[in-house]
Chain A
Amino acid sequence: MSGNGAVWGRVRGRLRAFPEHLAACGAEAAAYGRCVQASTAPGGRLTKDLCAQEFEALRSCFAAAAKKTLRGGL
């Protein structure tokens, strides 16, 4: 943290809102988590973008929740 920490404070403020947005996307998060967990079972192999679809769904839901709060809040 240099100077008055304004930038850092802003970034952290956004980061602190993450859990809220994530809570709004419980179903998508669970789907993604299940997909990754399935790959840890014996015989499964976790490779890059194995669960890309589920993650895209989670990400769009998350971005929507973030946008909503941005417009709704303030």
Chain B
Amino acid sequence: MAAVVFKAEDVTKTYVTGDVAVHALRGVDLELFEGELAVMLGPSGSGKSTLLNILGGIDTATSGSARFKDLDLTGQDERTLTFYRRNHVGFVFQFYNLIPSLTALENVALVTEIARDPMSPAEALELVALSDRANHFPAQLSGGEQQRVAIARAIAKRPEVLLCDEPTGALDSKTGVLVLDALMSVNRELSTTTAIITHNAETRKIAHRVFYFHDGRIARCETNETRLEPREIVW
């Protein structure tokens, strides 16, 4: 049995805006194992992003506990969370979030420069098959290419976990396949624990396990006996 990477226990998150309180998470329990690829599904507003942000150390839980290995993510100061993100977490976002004034290669370098044991930016681009676009600015890249740069940027530091919030959300199916391929091969080759949020239910078929969110809770969890390759799933 693989080691536990993430362990969340009764995590809640309440946003208070004015006099309205939004319960984004109402008590989530979850374990993710080393090398595992998890897909998270659920209706809009069910709390997927919120949980991922808490696991990634860019948000904090209101109550409950969330651990990354031995590190308690709840109640940590900004500095500890920054170093946690810097050294352990790779993020991929729906809107790529590349720095427009930096080339593909430089966008990756942005992360390798501060990481502990990174691969070279060129190597990371190689992994997402974008070596020939290294010196293009984001504006000169298609959406799918931009997202692959974002993945290269996320994996370049050899993170232990890769957190992807709707990485294919802004892409067409063909490009989406390329992106998922990239994620799966990273998961396989570097055995990076990977969590992918998606609205495409078919994507669940590439996962080891699938978590279904509903109204701030994980309603159920499925384990796939057999997994499909991204190009085999129907969009």
The answer to whether A binds B is no
Binding site for A on B (CB under 8 A): none
